[in-house]
């Protein structure tokens, strides 16, 4: 009698611990050379493992009720208790929780250590290629050291994550779930940078970090698809930084359906257009000999000023008194509403998560497949993506814990 966990990542390691603590015998099959590889890369190597301000509204999925229910059962408090029991301390930065060591490696290490203590067998370099259910058992087929191998199990926990960040292998969790008859919501890159069609502007402003707001709009449509405020990072190809990440899943889906999307940037959301206009007009009347460049450089990063003035087609070395109202309005328009036509996003390998995945309507509140008894599907393989800030790992721990406990209890019977 045993449980096979496919994938020794965040959700899989948690599920293995939860099940093994119930006395279950566990084999983990992991395609990478070591367990928890993605965890090491999280939070810029610091691992933002949860967030004290959790709500289902921070997630996107067809089934937000499942998320709400999951967070009620296993929220940030339970995550912290779980890691405390593994020996960890924390740092809390405005609700964003990190290990006290400041090292993501700590998180992976305590998980793996606990698995070993519980006798969980972790087989690395083992790529699962298919899962088949015979009458009451599962056959799990995998490749290891160029050999085709097969293992039997009573319960399978599919925790193979996604290929986001360039991790995993070509036989993804969703592929394995599809073989098992599950419906897959189209997968797109999320929490990723946006590519824009404004080459000259981006060349001039590349490297600038500016606190601003990004609005995602569809051409010809009223309203905003998504928006976020924070530090925008302007690059040679487009827009990165947390605000771009937060809107990126909507950009990915919009572009996938062929919509024409624009990112509209406000480089100083604290000041309205009229406040800026008044400021510029005061400069014109009181200091008419000042150049546009100098006036705007007192408000914005100098490189950004150069990019805005060039895009507006106004020579920055001109004295403000010599400019026309139309020219000044044009410059302000670009400061408050720089429209960047979007051409794409970074691909999945350069993204933090994958939106889409196994339809959450096809799993129970314990993350058991409604199609195949004793198959559990957890973590990012499901159609659940959270915003930046510890929400994705939180879902991985929570779904792993709930599924692992449920599976472990069955094993005992």
Ligand X SMILES: Cc1cc2nc3c(=O)[nH]c(=O)nc-3n(C[C@H](O)[C@H](O)[C@H](O)COP(=O)(O)OP(=O)(O)OC[C@H]3O[C@@H](n4cnc5c(N)ncnc54)[C@H](O)[C@@H]3O)c2cc1C
Binding residues for ligand X, rule: CB under 6 A, are: 6-12, 29-32, 37-38, 41-43, 47-48, 127-128, 159-161, 164-165, 167-169, 171-173, 352-353, 379-380, 390-393, 396
DSSP state, residue 321: G
**Nearest approach, Cβ of 275 to ligand X (angstroms)?**
36
> Are the CB atoms for 344 and 195 separated by under 8 Å?
yes
Nearer residue to ligand X within complex by CB, 26 or 393: 393
By beta-carbon proximity to ligand X, the closer residue of 30 and 266 is 30
Nearer to ligand X, 12 or 344 (CB): 12
- The CB-of-110 to ligand X minimum distance in angstroms stands at 15
For the chain, the 3-state helix, strand and coil shares in percent, each to the nearest 5, are: 40, 25, 35
- The candidate with the shortest Cα–Cα distance to 253, out of 354, 350, 393, is 354
Nearer to ligand X, 172 or 345 (CB): 172
The angle subtended at Cα 367 by Cα 361 and Cα 368, nearest 5°, is 90
Write down the least CB distance from residue 283 to ligand X, Å: 43
Minimum CB distance to ligand X, residue 352 (Å): 4
Minimum CB–partner distance for residue 159 and ligand X (Å): 5
Q: Which is nearer to ligand X, 29 or 306 (CB)?
A: 29
Under a CB-based contact definition with an 8 Å cutoff, are residues 351 and 252 in contact?
Answer: no
- What sign results for the dihedral spanned by CA atoms 254, 257, 262, 263? positive
The residue among 266 and 380 lying less far from ligand X, judged by its C-beta, is 380
Length of the chain, in residues:
413
Nearer residue to ligand X within complex by CB, 255 or 353: 353
- Distance of closest approach, residue 286 Cβ to ligand X, in angstroms: 48
Minimum CB–partner distance for residue 176 and ligand X (Å): 6
| d(C-alpha 121, C-alpha 116), whole Å | 7
Tell me the residue nearest to ligand X as measured from the CB. 9
Closest to ligand X by CB, 131 vs 204, is 131
Minimal distance in Å, beta carbon 346 to ligand X? 11
Buried b (16+ CB within 10 A) or exposed e, 125-152: ebbbbebebeeebbebebbeeeeeeebe
Measured from the CB of residue 263, what is the shortest distance to ligand X in angstroms?
A: 22
With b for 16 or more beta-carbon neighbours within 10 A and e for fewer, the 67-101 pattern comes to beebbeebbbebbbebbeebebebeeeeebbbbeb
Burial of 293: CB neighbours in 10 Å, binned 0-12, 13-18, 19+: middle
Cα separation, 304 vs 236, whole angstroms: 13
Secondary structure of residue 239 in the 3-state scheme: strand
User: b or e along 190-217 (b: 16 or more beta carbons within 10 Å of the residue's beta carbon)?
Assistant: bbbbbbbebeebbebbeebebebbbbbb
* φ, ψ at 248 (rounded to 5°): -65, -30
The CB-of-361 to ligand X minimum distance in angstroms stands at: 19
- For ligand X, give the closer residue by CB, 215 or 401: 401
Residue 96 or 267: which CB sits closer to ligand X? 96
């Amino acid at each position: 009698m045993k449980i096979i966990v496919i994938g020794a990542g965040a959700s899989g390691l948690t599920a293995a611990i939860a099940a093994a603590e119930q006395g279950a015998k566990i084999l983990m099959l992991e395609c990478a050379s070591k367990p928890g590889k993605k965890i090491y890369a999280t939070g810029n190597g610091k691992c933002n493992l949860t967030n004290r301000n959790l709500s289902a509204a921070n997630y996107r999925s067809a089934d937000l009720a499942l998320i709400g229910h999951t967070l009620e059962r296993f929220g940030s408090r339970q995550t912290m208790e779980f890691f405390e029991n593994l020996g960890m301390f924390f740092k809390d930065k405005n609700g964003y929780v990190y290990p006290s060591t400041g090292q993501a490696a700590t998180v992976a290490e305590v998980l793996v250590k606990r698995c070993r203590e519980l006798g969980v067998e972790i087989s690395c370099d083992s790529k699962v290629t298919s899962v088949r259910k015979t009458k009451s058992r599962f056959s799990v087929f995998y490749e290891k050291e160029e050999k085709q191998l097969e293992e039997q199990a009573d319960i399978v926990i599919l925790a193979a994550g996604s290929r986001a960040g360039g991790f995993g292998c070509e036989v993804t969790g969703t592929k394995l779930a599809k073989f098992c008859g599950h419906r897959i919501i189209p997968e797109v890159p999320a929490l990723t940078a946006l590519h824009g069609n404004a080459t000259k502007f981006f060349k001039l402003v590349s490297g600038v970090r500016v606190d601003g707001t990004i609005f995602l709009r569809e051409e010809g449509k009223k309203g905003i698809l998504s928006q976020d405020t924070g530090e925008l990072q302007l690059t040679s190809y487009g827009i990165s930084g947390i605000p771009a990440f937060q809107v990126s899943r909507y950009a990915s889906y919009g572009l996938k359906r062929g919509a024409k999307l624009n990112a509209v940037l406000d480089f100083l959301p604290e000041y309205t257009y009229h406040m800026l206009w008044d400021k510029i007009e005061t400069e014109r009347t009181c200091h008419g000999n000042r150049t546009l460049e100098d006036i705007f450089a007192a408000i914005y990063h100098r490189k950004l000023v150069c990019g805005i003035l060039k895009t507006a087609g106004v020579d920055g070395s001109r004295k403000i008194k010599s400019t026309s109202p139309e020219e000044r309005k044009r410059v302000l328009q670009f400061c408050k509403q720089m429209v960047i036509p979007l051409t794409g996003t970074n691909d999945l390998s350069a993204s933090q998560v994958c939106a889409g995945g196994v339809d959450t309507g096809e799993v129970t509140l314990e993350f058991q497949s409604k199609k195949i008894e004793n198959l559990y599907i957890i973590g990012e393989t499901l159609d659940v993506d959270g915003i930046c800030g510890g929400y994705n790992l939180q879902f991985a721990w929570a779904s792993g814990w709930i599924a692992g406990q449920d599976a472990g209890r069955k094993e005992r019977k």
